Amino acid sequence: MRFRVVTLGCDKNTVDSERYRAELMDHGGVPVAEADDAEVIIVNTCGFIDAAKQESIDAIVEAGRLKGRGSATAVVAVGCMVERHKGELAEALPEVDLFLGASEADRLIPALQERGLVGASVTEHPGVRVHAGGSPFVRYLKLSEGCDHGCAFCAIPLMRGRHRSFALADVVREAQLLELQGCREVNLVAQDLAHYGRDRRDDVRLPELLEALLRETSIPWIRNMYLYSAGITPRLLEVIAAHDRIVPYLDMPIQHASDPVLERMRRPERQRTIREKVARFREAVPGVAIRTTCIVGFPGETEDDVATLLDFLREVEFERVGVFTYSPQEGTRGAELVDDVPDLVKRARLEAVQELQRHITAERYESRIGAVVPALVEAPADASGLARARLPWQADDIDGVTLIATDAPAGSFIEVHVDEVIDDYDFRATARRILSQPAAASATARRPLVLPVAPSVGSFGR
């Protein structure tokens, strides 16, 4: 059975899609690069905001068209949006053969078997994630599922359930398997990394997990994504500051800086807390790059609230800021409030934040010129003689790239001198020396993997 998995939404969905691919291949499925060539098209949907929902629906509709005119015989919709709106989607999209919510991942293979599309398992050790798209040297590792925060604007707990941390042994085992597949940078993801381990009784939290990954793998770069400021503890700062392999980078969503808005959003932090935690992180980890996200137009937001947000962004000077306009999500506390900020006003506020942050980012990036830092080569030199790489403050797919004249192969780490900023968010740098190159598969297999095999997609973390 030839199949294609279409992934929408966040990095956590990327991990889920890789597990879907693994399970399908374990049962004889053959992945194809183009949906036109697939017999089964699986769309992994996102339901976080209205724009993401529309993108998911468009992808499903396109898959349905291919079913009518191409080789596809079945379309499957899975993931977060399906979890929330399965009944409505099934009524509106009859061309879809199977709808599975995020909590029903274990039903994918049995359902396809019932339709005669896949057979029994053909592998001895199923469940090893299979990379798809992007750089094979950059992978994502999910530490937990669900969320307990209960933010008023967010439907994630309704789609993904309560927070559940994966066992340390399973996380380490999966990281080792990713390393054997060539991983050179692992991005740790969760709804909130700082919540890792709070629901378990083994006294293992994020600092201990980081130390285990450092001890049990040789992955050169470990990057923390999605960490609430409330979870930045002295112990965590101590671990991050002590190890060069933990990238000096933090993705810390604040969502706003006005205390009244934060309170209505039911966020766990206030402006003072955020300010203090940013200062502590920068003091403990010199040169750290901090990225954040904000929402404008939440019910009750005033011009004074927006001015407070802009003033805070000027003061704190984050490297990058992603900003979104608020849209009410069914079932959330925010949806019970009157959506009293007109769309045009929301858009104007979004553009004000973007314009301010563009200047702040330019200043922060200009201050990086002259630095000597490691860079991960993602693509070898093209016809122009320039390779594409990323610096420590450039996370995969969101923070720009760096162009370097080097013949180092993809997956190499090289020491570079940062020369200039180009195109707002990209850099040009000069290669100084090669620090390390990706090892051959036979060489990376030297480490004995004695931990239990990680659970398959259907049972992982459940």
For residue 98, what are the β-bridge partners? 76
Task: For residue range 1-23, list pLDDT tens digits in order.
Answer: 889 999 888 888 888 888 888 88
Q: What residues contact residue 153 under an 8 Å CB cut-off, 6+ apart?
A: 255, 265, 295, 298, 326, 328, 329, 332, 334
Task: For residue range 247-260, list pLDDT tens digits in order.
Answer: 999 999 999 999 99
Q: What is the pLDDT averaged over residues 243-248? A: 96
pLDDT the model gives residue 397: 87
Task: For residue range 399-414, list pLDDT tens digits in order.
Answer: 999 999 999 999 999 9
Cα separation of 423 and 183, whole Å?
29
Q: What is the pLDDT averaged over residues 279-288? A: 95
Answer for the pair 274, 257: CB distance below 8 angstroms, yes or no.
yes
Determine which of 82-91, 159-168, 227-236, 452-461 has the lowest per-residue pLDDT on average.
Answer: 452-461
For the ranges 52-56, 113-117, 176-180, the maximum mean pLDDT occurs at 176-180
Residue 462 pLDDT greater than 60, yes or no:
no
Residue 355 pLDDT greater than 90, yes or no:
yes
pLDDT the model gives residue 27: 87
Question: Which domains, and CATH codes, for the chain?
Answer: 2-114 (3.40.50.12160), 138-366 (3.80.30.20), 372-438 (2.40.50.140)
Instruction: Give the Å distances, CA to CA, from 109 to 2, 43, 116, 141, 229.
Output: 14, 15, 10, 23, 39
pLDDT the model gives residue 440: 62
Residue 123 pLDDT greater than 70, yes or no:
no
Phi-psi region of 461 (alpha: psi -120 to 50; beta: other; left: phi over 0): left
Query: To the nearest whole percent, how much of the chain has pLDDT over 70?
Result: 92
Answer for the pair 101, 86: CB distance below 8 angstroms, yes or no.
yes
Burial letters 410-440, b for 16+ CB under 10 A, else e: bbbbbebebeebeeebbbbbebeeeeeebee
Q: 131 or 371, which is more confident?
A: 371
Cα separation of 281 and 227, whole Å?
12
Task: For residue range 337-352, list pLDDT tens digits in order.
Answer: 999 999 999 999 999 9
Instruction: Please give the model's pTM, rounded to 2 decimal places.
Output: 0.87
